[in-house]
Structure 1
Amino acid sequence: MGEHFLIGIVCVILFGVGSQWIAWKTKLPAILLLLVAGIIAGPITGLLDPDALMGNLLAPFVSISVGIILFEGGLSLRFSELRNIGGAIIKLVSVGVVLTWIISTLSAFYLFDMNIQLAVLLGAILVVTGPTVIIPLLRQVRPTGQVSSVLRWEGIVIDPIGAMLTVLVFEVIIAGGLSEGISLALSSIFKTVFFGSLVGLAGAGIIYILLKRYLLPDFLQNPVTLMIVLVVFAVSNTLQHESGLWATTVMGIALANQKSARIHHIVEFKENLRLLLLSALFVLLAARVELANLIGSLNWQILAFLLILIFVARPLSVYLSTIGSQLNNREKLFLSWMAPRGVVAASISSLFAYELVQNGYAEAGQLVPIVFIIIISTVAIYGLSASKVARYLGVAKPTPRGFLMIGAHQWARDIAELLHDKGFKVLLADSNWSNINKARKMGLKTYYGNVLSEYAIDEINLDGIGKLLALTPNDEVNSLAVIRYKEIFGTSEVFQLAAATKAKRADQEVPDNLSGRILFDENLNFDNISTALKKGAELELVEIEQTLTQEEFDHKIKHLTPLFLIKATQEIRPYTVDFAPLPGEGDTLICLGKIEDSYITGSKQVQGQSVQN
C-alpha cells in the first residue's frame, strides 16, 4: 500500500513537471501535454489512480489549488489597465458570459439529446476560459496593444464567475423546483459576491499590514501569505458554498493594486507554486477520465458542438462585448480566436458530475468526457494556431532577439552600432546624458535614466528585446541590473561583464549567485576591454566563408576574441564563459582583435577609441 502511494505521488510530479519541461522545449501548449500525460498515467497504463491515491482529499485539494491559482492570477491584474479596456472587459464577463451560456446550453440540448437541466449546467461550465491556459499562451504569442490585458482580465475574472454559475445551476437542480431554485440562486449570488469580497479584502488587508509594518521576516512572507490565502478560501467557503474562488481572486487583485507594501517575493513564490499545482491538477483530473467514455463520446455531435463554440459562441460574444471599444478589427478577430478551456472547467465538471450521479442523475456521467474533449480540443486548436493567427493578423510582437544594453560609453555604442547594422534591435540605457546624447546622434535608441529605479521597467519599451547586456564599469550595478531583469528575460538571457581581477579587488567580487552569465571571457572585464581598444585593438565584423573544425577555427582566430555569434538564420548569441559555439558556413562573428587569416574575411572595422564614462 505504501509503495503504491509512493508511485502515485511520483507519477503526478514526474508526468506534471516533465510535461511542462517538454512543452517549453517543443513550444507546444503545456496544458495539452499535461492532459495527454494524465491519460497515459491513468486509464492507459494504470500507474496512477487519483481516487485511490487521495480518496476524500481529492476534491478539497482541487478546490484549494484552483483558489491559489486564481489568487496568483489576481496578483497580475492592475486597475491602470482598465483605463481604455474596462468597458470591454465588463461586457465580456457579463454579456459575453450570458451569450456563451445560452448558445452552449441550446447546442448541448439539441445535439446531445440532454435534458435541459444538464444542458444548462454544461453551458455554465463552459463559459470559463481561465488563466491556467491563457497566460502560458500569451507568453508564447506576445500579442500587441491591449489584447494581452483584455485576455488576462477576462480569463482570471471569468473563472470564479463560471464556478459561481455552475454552483447556482447545481443547487437549482438539487432543489427540484424552479421557483425554489431561482430564489436560492439569487440568494447565493448575493452571498457569494458579498462574503467573497468581504473575506478577500480582509485577507489582503492583513497581509498589507504585516508587510507594511515589517511584522514578518523575509523567510516567512511566502508561508504566511499562503496560510492566509488558505484561511480566506476556507472561511469564505464556510460562509457561502464555493465562494472561495471569488474571495482569493479579489484578494490577489487588492494586493496587486496597493502601492505601499512590497509583494515582489510573494509574486515570485506564487508563480512557482502555480506551476506545480497546475501540473498536478491536470494530471490528476485527466487520470480520472474513463478512456472508454472518452472514446465513446467522439462522434459528429461533439464535433458540431465544438465548432459552434469556436465559430459562433466566441466570435458573437467578443463582437457584441467590444462594440464602442478602442479595439480594432484585427484585435477583435484575435480575441475571437482565443477561448481555450482550462482547469476550472475540468475540476468543476468532475466534482459536480460525481455529486449529481450520487444524487440519482445518471446522465450527468456524460458531462466529464464532453468537457475533457472540449478542453483537449480547444487547447490543441488555439494553442497550436495562436502564434500563426497573431502573426497573420499583425497583432504579435516581434520575436525578442534584441538587446537592452546597460551602459552607453564609447565601445558599448560601437558594439550597439554593429548589432543595429545587422538588423537587431538595440536599446542603450545610461544615466550619463553625454553618453546618451552621443548614442542618439549615432541613430541608436536610448533610455536616459537609472534602469534600477522603481518605474524604469514600466517606462522602457521592451518590445522585440529578449536579452540584457550589463556593460558598465561598476560590477555591483551590473549585478543589480541582472537580478532586476532576469525575471523579465530569464536567467539564461541576462549577461554581464567579468568582474575586476580578483587579485586587485577580491573584497569587491560579486558572488556567482548574484551575477548573470559572464560575457566573452573571464579576463575581459571593463578595464581590460577599454585598455585593449586604447592600444589599437579593433571591433571586427567577421564573416565565416567555409566550415571549419574546432581545431581549425581555434587556429584561425588565435588573435581574435569572439564576442557575438550571428547565425545564418539571424539568431544571435553572445559568447560567454559557459558558451563558446563553433560557427558554421554563412555565420558572422563580432570579435575583438585583428584579422590575419585567409579563411575569414573582415567586412567592417570600428577603430578603437578612448572610452568616456
Structure 2
Amino acid sequence: MMHAPPDLTLTIALIAGSGVAAQWLAWRLRWPSIVLMMGAGLLLGPVFALISGAPLLDPEASFGGYLRPMIALAVGVILFEGGITLNFRELRGVSKPVWRLVLLGVPLNGILATLALHYVAGLALDLSAMIGALLTVTGPTVVLPLLRQAKLPPRIASVLKWEGIVNDPIGALAAVFVFEAVRQTALGQDWAGAAGALAFGAVIGAGLGIAFGFGLSRAFRRGWVPEQMKAPLVLASVLVCFSSAEALAHETGLVAVTVFGLVVANSRLASIEEMRRFKEGIASILVASVFVVLAAGLTPSALAELNWRHAAFVVVLILIARPLGIFLATLNSGLNLRETAFVGLIGPRGVVAAATAGHLAAELVEAGREDAAILAPLVFATVFASVVGCGFAVTPLARLFGLSQSGPERLLIVGANPWSLGLAGVLKKIEVPHTVADTSWRRLRAARLDGHDVYYGEVLSEAAEWRLEPSRFSALIAASANDAYNALVCIDYAPELGRSRVYQLSAHEGLDEGERGEDDPRSIAFTARGRTLIRRGRGYDGLARDWWRGWRFRTTRLTEEYPLSRYLEDLDENADLVLARQPNGTLILLGPGREPPEAPGSVIVSFAPPRDGQAESGEPAGPARQ
C-alpha cells in the first residue's frame, strides 16, 4: 500500500506525457494526432503486455472504480468545448444540410450500421442496434483536427463541424436507450419504464444546460465575476452541470453540457474568445489522455477475438453504409454531389463512441450477456480504422473533389495602402496566394482592380471568424498605419496561426538596428505585439516615404550560379529584405534573427531604391532576376 501513491502518480504522468507527446509528434509529422495518441496507448498497453507479459500502463488496475467517472467527466468537458465553438451565425447557408444530417442522418445511419453489424459482423440484433446507434456519431475530437488539416471551404467545414458536435450526444443517448432495453431484458425486468425515465432525463438535461448557460451569461454581463475567475468558473460549471444531469438519468450529461456550450457560444459575451482558448487547451490534454487510456485498456485477448467478419463490417460501414446514409439524408439539401460524397466518406468516429461502448459493454457482461464482450474491441477497431482512413484521406479527397483550399501557403495582409498593395502585386507575380483586408472600400479599390483577393470588413469582428476563415492562412502581416491596431490584430490571430506566424512593422522609425525600442515606456510591450517584419527601426512612415521616393519591390531567384552570398553582395546597402518563398512553397517572412534561405530555386523579395537606368517599377535586370 505504501507504493500505491507513487505508482498512481507515475501512471497519471505517463498518460498525460504520452498523449501530449503524441500530439506534438503528429504536428511535426503532419499526421492525424489521434492516430498517434491511439498508437501510444496501444504501445503502453496491449503491445507492451505481449512483449513483457504485463502492460506498462493498466488504467483499470491503477484507477479501479474511478476510471469510468473520470472518463465521463473528461468527455463532458470535451463536448462543452465543442459546443462553445458552435455559433448559429455559421448556419447561414448550411442550416438545411445540418438539420437533415441531424433529423434524417442519425436514424438512417443507425439503421444501416445496425444491419451491417447483424448481417456482416454477426452480432445479435439487439446488440447491433445499440452499437449501430453509437456508431452514427462522428465526434468533435476527431472532426475538428481534420478540418484544420484539410483547409476546407467554410460551407463544408461548418457542415462537418455541426454534424460532429450535435450528433455526438444524440447518438450516445440513442445507444443508451437500446442499452437499457437490452440490460433490463437480460435482468428479466421491464425496460419500457426505464426508457421513459431516460427520455424524461434527456429533457431535464437539456433544461439544465439552458439554465446553466443563461445563468453564466447573465453573471458575466452583470460583472458579478472577476476576469481572473471566469475561466475556472466555466470549468467548474461544466463539471457541476454534467454531474447534475447524470444524477437524473444516465448519459444525459452529454446533452446538458452540449446545450450549455451552445447557449454560451451564442450569448455574445465579450470574454468568449478567452474562454474558448482556455477550454481548448484543457480539452486538448483531456482528448489525449482519454484516447491513451482507452487504447491502453484493451487486452491482447480481447483484440484476438476480432476476426475477418469484424474487419469486413468496418469496411462496409466506412465505404458503403455511411456514404449511402449521408446521400439519402441530404437529397435536395443544397449540397452538390461532390460535397455529399466528401461528407459521406469523412466520418471518423471519436472518443464518445469508444468511451460509451466500453462502459456499456462492461455493464452488459455483468448482467449476463457474455456476447457483449466483443463490443469494446470492435468499436475501438472501428474508431481506429475510421480515424486513420479519414486522417490520411481527407486532404487527397478534398483535392479529388475540388474542395481543397490548400496549395502554396496563403498570406493575409491587413491594411491597404500603397506599400502593402505593392507587396501584394509582387506576391501575385511570384504566385503566392494572398488576401488584402481593410475596412475601407475606397482603399481596397486598387487591389480589386488589380485582381487581388480582398476582404472588406473588420478582421477583428465575429463575422471574420467564419467569413475570412483564419485557418486558410499560414501567416499574417499587419501593415496598417496604426501600430496599436497592428499589435491587436497580431495578438488576436496568434492563437489561430501561431505566435511565430504573425508579423507587423516596427513602431520605432529611425532607431538603430541594435537599439531596443520596446524599452521605450511609450511603446507597446513586445509580448503584446507580433514579430517584427523587415528590421527594427523600419516602420510604416519610413516605408511609405520611400515608396513615394520611387522605391519598389524586387524579386530575385537564387540558382546554383547565383547563390545567396552573391545576391547579398549585389544588394543595395539600403535595401530591405521582406520575405522569401522556398521551392516547396513555404513562406519565410524576414526580420531580426530570420535569414533568407540558401536553397537554389528560392525567391527573395526585397524593397529597394531604384537603380540607375531602370524603370521606376523596379524590375531587376539579369538572368537570375524575375
**Do these two structures clear the TM 0.5 threshold for a shared fold by scoring above it?**
yes
Aligned AA for 2:26? A
Pairing of 1:515-594 with structure 2 (within 5 A)? 515-533=529-547, 537-546=551-560, 554-557=568-571, 559=573, 560-593=575-608
Moved more, 455-464 or 237-246: 455-464
| Distance of 2:37 and 2:256 partners within structure 1 | 27
Cα drift, residue 250 of structure 1: 0.6
Partner of 2:277: 268
Q: In structure 1, what residue type is equivalent to 2:386?
A: T
**Amino acid corresponding to residue 325 of structure 2 in structure 1:** S
Q: Which amino acid aligns with 1:227?
A: A
Alpha-carbon offset, residue 534 of structure 1: 5.5
Where do 1:259-298 residues align within 5 Å?
259=268, 262-297=271-306
Q: 1:394 aligns with which of 378, 402, 417?
A: 402
Q: Which runs of 5+ in 2 are unaligned?
A: 49-54, 621-626
How much is the aligned-residue C-alpha RMSD, in angstroms?
A: 2.8
Do structure 1's residue 195 and structure 2's residue 210 form an aligned pair? no
State the partner residue of 2:101.
92
Distance in 1 between the 2:338 and 2:140 partners?
22
* Matching residue within 415, 428, 433 for 1:407: 415
Match of 2:386 in 1: 378
Give 1:234's match in structure 2, choosing from 243, 256, 259.
243
Match of 1:159 in 2: 168
Determine if the alignment matches structure 1 residue 605 to structure 2 residue 618.
yes
What letter matches 2:347 in structure 1?
A
Q: 1:41 aligns with which of 40, 44, 60?
A: 44
Q: What is the distance in 2 between the residues matched to 1:458 and 1:143?
A: 12
8 Å CA contact retained: 2:558, 2:564: no
Change (3 A) 1:332 1:537: closer
- Alignment-derived partner of residue 501 in structure 2: 493
The code of the aligned residue for 1:313 comes to A
What is aligned with 1:507? 521
- Bigger Cα displacement from structure 2, 411-420 vs 534-543: 534-543
Which of 307, 310, 313 is matched with 2:318 structurally?
Answer: 310
2: distance between equivalents of 1:15 and 1:461? Answer: 32
What is residue 351 of structure 2 aligned with on the other side? 343
What is the DSSP-based 3-state SS (H/G/I as helix, E as strand, rest coil) of the residue aligned with 1:384? Answer: helix
Distance 1:509 1:537 in 2: 28
Which is worse superposed, 532-541 or 24-33? 532-541
Gaps of 5+ in 1: 608-613
Task: Quote the residue 1:20 is aligned against.
Answer: 23
Q: For 2:281 and 2:59, how far apart are their aligned partners in 1?
A: 23
CA distance in 2, matches of 1:407, 1:112: 59
Rounded to whole Å, the distance in 2 between the matches of 1:67 and 1:206 is: 19
Task: Report the equivalent of 2:129.
Answer: 120
Displacement of 1:434 in angstroms is 5.5
Report % sequence identity. Answer: 32
Question: In the alignment, what sits opposite 1:217?
Answer: 226
Kept after mapping to 1: 8 A contact 2:210/2:263: yes
- Summarize the Cα distance change of 1:340–1:441 in structure 2 as closer, same or farther, 3 Å threshold: closer
Q: Verify: 1:360 aligned to 2:368, yes or no.
A: yes
Q: For residue 610 of structure 1, what is the aligned residue in structure 2?
A: none
The number of residues matched between the two structures is 602
User: Aligned pair in 2 of structure 1 residues 362, 272: CA closer, same or farther (>3 Å)?
Assistant: same
| Residue number in structure 2 paired with 1:329 | 337
Match of 1:468, SS state, is strand
The TM-score, its normalising length taken from structure 1, stands at 0.91
Distance across 1 between alignment mates of 2:353 and 2:294: 11
Deviations 1:197-242 (A, max 9, x none): 1110111011111111011111100101111111111111111222
Classify 1:81/1:178 alpha carbon distance in 2 versus 1 (closer, same or farther; 3 Å).
Answer: farther
Give runs of aligned pairs for residues 139-150 of structure 1, distance below 5 A.
139-144=148-153, 146-150=155-159
Are 1:4 and 2:4 matched, yes or no?
A: no
- 2:517–2:523 CA contact under 8 A, matched in 1: no
Q: Aligned partners of 2:95 and 2:443: how far apart in 1? A: 41
Paired residue secondary structure (1:405): strand
1:288-329 C-alpha deviation (Å, 9 max, x unpaired)? 0012321441x3201210122023210221111112211000
Which stretch of structure 1 is more off in the superposition, 126-135 or 279-288?
A: 126-135
Q: With structure 2 as the length reference, what TM-score do the two structures score?
A: 0.89
